[in-house]
Structure 1
């Protein structure tokens, strides 16, 4: 049996397309700072060729030497001068794994060179830094993405999709977010990570910034372009002997016209949790973990199911997502979890929360 010419051409085209995809060049990235405990995500990302680390900037030479040994990396990858590294290796994107305060420095070096940036959450340590970073990204037309673990969760993405459908949840009235763990020292964060994570300038706050940003990020995506009308917050220092400079617990109430979010962020819980509940006037959506979605209608009976990444259409690897954005295969939707406008709003909310906790009054962000 012979293939008709049109089917033969289609078969050849399919084979060529697959071959071209296989030959697509890897994304060359640089790592700016490795003091963040999550830097191992990229330094230890072995066995994959889609993203290649071309250079690593770390001014702490002892920390750089430690990482070199741990991940069996060549010494030639390491630099102590950020601009010099960027000019030498000419990466397509930079991954910031230093202090939150250093995110501005990384963006100031990368943006004028046309280099895209992905930072670990939150976007910036304070609103002044966030505004400067936003201006640099807009001026030089680079992608400035913020990476959260919950941005990889199928349950979160499915909740956002269902919440956006008025026929599913209806009008959103309330959302509750619980993000926290026993505390960074208690779970074994390294000394170089703790040094800035527990510093009010380098991290911007304590648990309020570290975990409050998750709820602010997801609620901003839920509300899209709707800005809060007020933010109220209470912070506590339950363990001043462990964290003498920053809060270790925060409750943030974010009010919108017709809706409200309660964000609980803590370094005091007995276990790690990242969960959320969204209440509409037709149904509620609960994401107790990365893969589980629970819906309740007017009868209150829970319907629980597992959500796969394929169903949710979510990238479970932030570096694969970054490559897709840089290559033009993915468009960062306005107000979506990684987007710049969302994450500037996150810092606005966190900044207002810090002021509110200090003065004991609601603050307009």
Structure 2
């Protein structure tokens, strides 16, 4: 009996020790403009950066110097890095098209992956990536900035409760900025962000994914009935290969979503309007929102992280999920983000043909 108790105690101790160990994290690609977030992240004890793969050696050298990183962390080849450093998890900061290759390399090795939004440039790749993750029982997450907006989560709670807005009917999402060139993204990021293959499109993909992600969350992963989209090139001299303006209408049997994705806003914005048959919630930014219902006048409110704790660091979220400290959030989920790619692909086809794309029958 004592032996059994000792073994159980030992195993429990080992599991607890594993839960406290930093996650061995590697970076696949560094051409994405958001990569400084991980390269410059201060040590918090939750992750250990063990490797970086990037074929552009000049870019690797620049980032190594900027963030005082050991040159031994850098590898020119992803597979070589994975086999050399054996990470538990990888974050992908290359082009959207390259996400599939990262999952193909990582999933069979049992390595968890988190990519920047969206999951993929096309549905076929997204479904293959999902199949690999499920087969090898690895996490495959998609990171969006809006996933860690307390105002978004508050709006979801108010809609779910239904006592404020009533039955959910419509969402309008505005996302984007003045344009990649206008805001000064680096050349490596600009080159693939404005490429129809590497990014899958322009503003439609870059910012349309936010609205698709949020509406899919509110609709609990339901497949839409149809998608209609119109794209424009207001600045063909800057973005000759892709759209810089997109309006997407996503139809459901009980609700509708309008996504306005743009590289032409006068200012950067990520805001959302949610309407029910008895009221509305409008999020202005990370913390500020406006609510109105038939029983109360319009009120402007601000929610703090203390009132509604949400992760504001995707790497901390990723590490805690790997260590089993939390449950997965629907906005990051594989089910949600395969649906997002399905919507974006339909939107791209609708814009190309000028016709509504049907996804399922009523």
Q: TM-score, normalised by structure 1?
A: 0.92
Alignment deviations for residues 299-355 of structure 1 (CA, whole Å, 9 cap, x no partner): 67321211122322311111111011101111214xx11000000000000000000
Determine the C-alpha separation between the residues in 2 that align with 1:214 and 1:77. 33
Counterpart selection for 1:96 from 92, 96, 108 = 92
Deviation at 1:225, TM superposition (A): 3.2
Determine the C-alpha separation between the residues in 1 that align with 2:221 and 2:145. 23
Counterpart selection for 1:320 from 316, 320, 323 = 316
In angstroms, what is the RMSD of aligned CA positions? Answer: 1.6
Determine the C-alpha separation between the residues in 1 that align with 2:296 and 2:354. 37
Counterpart selection for 2:160 from 159, 164, 177 = 164
Find out whether 1:342 has 2:336 as its counterpart. Answer: yes
- After superposition, residues 272-283 of structure 1 pair within 5 angstroms as 272-283=268-279
Deviation at 1:138, TM superposition (A): 0.8
Determine the C-alpha separation between the residues in 2 that align with 1:122 and 1:225. 16
Deviation at 1:48, TM superposition (A): 2.5
Determine the C-alpha separation between the residues in 1 that align with 2:327 and 2:132. 20
Alignment deviations for residues 247-278 of structure 1 (CA, whole Å, 9 cap, x no partner): 00000000000210000000011100000010
Counterpart selection for 2:267 from 266, 271, 277 = 271
Structure 2 residue matching 1:196: 3-state secondary structure: helix
The answer to whether the Cα contact below 8 Å between 2:164 and 2:292 also exists between their aligned partners in 1 is no
The answer to whether the Cα contact below 8 Å between 1:309 and 1:316 also exists between their aligned partners in 2 is no
Determine the C-alpha separation between the residues in 1 that align with 2:150 and 2:138. 27
| Equivalent position of 1:285 in the other structure | 281
- After superposition, residues 20-59 of structure 1 pair within 5 angstroms as 24-59=20-55
| Equivalent position of 1:79 in the other structure | 75
| Equivalent position of 2:211 in the other structure | 215
| Equivalent position of 1:351 in the other structure | 345
Deviation at 1:188, TM superposition (A): 0.3
Structure 1 residue matching 2:358: 3-state secondary structure: coil
The answer to whether the Cα contact below 8 Å between 1:325 and 1:331 also exists between their aligned partners in 2 is yes
The answer to whether the Cα contact below 8 Å between 1:180 and 1:265 also exists between their aligned partners in 2 is yes
Determine the C-alpha separation between the residues in 1 that align with 2:156 and 2:64. 40
Determine the C-alpha separation between the residues in 2 that align with 1:27 and 1:159. 32
| Equivalent position of 1:8 in the other structure | none
Deviation at 1:166, TM superposition (A): 2.6
Alignment deviations for residues 19-77 of structure 1 (CA, whole Å, 9 cap, x no partner): x79x9211110000000000000000024232111000001111111111111100100
Deviation at 1:169, TM superposition (A): 2.3
Moved over 6 A (4+): none
Q: TM-score, normalised by structure 2?
A: 0.93
| Equivalent position of 1:11 in the other structure | none
| Equivalent position of 2:126 in the other structure | 130
Determine the C-alpha separation between the residues in 1 that align with 2:43 and 2:320. 19
| Equivalent position of 2:193 in the other structure | 197
Find out whether 1:252 has 2:248 as its counterpart. Answer: yes
The answer to whether the Cα contact below 8 Å between 1:275 and 1:289 also exists between their aligned partners in 2 is yes
Structure 1 gaps, min length 5: 1-16
Find out whether 1:332 has 2:328 as its counterpart. Answer: yes
> In terms of mean alpha carbon deviation, does 30-39 or 220-229 score higher?
220-229
Determine the C-alpha separation between the residues in 1 that align with 2:185 and 2:167. 41
Find out whether 1:304 has 2:305 as its counterpart. Answer: no
Find out whether 1:242 has 2:238 as its counterpart. Answer: yes
Determine the C-alpha separation between the residues in 2 that align with 1:168 and 1:325. 32
Shift of the 143–47 alpha-carbon distance from structure 1 to 2, 3 Å rule, reads: closer
Determine the C-alpha separation between the residues in 2 that align with 1:165 and 1:226. 19
Alignment: residue pair count: 345
